[in-house]
Structure 1
Amino acid sequence: MLTCFVFHLYKGVRAGGGIGDEIESPDGDEYEVYRIIFDITFFFFVIVILLAIIQGLIIDAFGELRDQLQSVSDDM
């Protein structure tokens, strides 16, 4: 069951249209386990967390612009 879960997690992470589709699969390599762990942690740290931070900054910037516009219209 664990093998099935790891397989689907790994293939799902790699099949996102990114670099995982272009680089070779580590099937049969002696460092296959390390490569799978690296790919999954890279996906979570870079794709999920970093993009969430960038998206949060963009949303916060638009919120500040909206607040500035509201304060200008309140002053009129």
Structure 2
Amino acid sequence: MSGDVDMSTRQQLAQTLEPLVAAGDVVLDCSQVAFFDSMGLRVAVTMMQQAAQLPRHSRWCPRGRCAGCWSWPG
């Protein structure tokens, strides 16, 4: 991911992540994300919850600006 993840890009993020989560292991790399608002976070959390129901590995990797803002339990 790169750029801004916000209300205007949340649908694109969801459409991109849904088949990836269903297909296998997912690492959500936010190292190139400049801005991540609550709407984008909601999509990411929803996808992580869906992935947790599957026998696969998923990880959200905040880096850069996002690293100090978010932590993911587990």
Normalised to the residue count of structure 2, the TM-score between the two structures is 0.28
Structure showing greater relative contact order (alpha-carbon pairs closer than 8 Å, 6 or more residues apart)? 2
Whichever structure has more strand as a proportion of its residues is: 2
Name the TM-score, length of structure 1 as normaliser. 0.28
Larger radius of gyration: 1
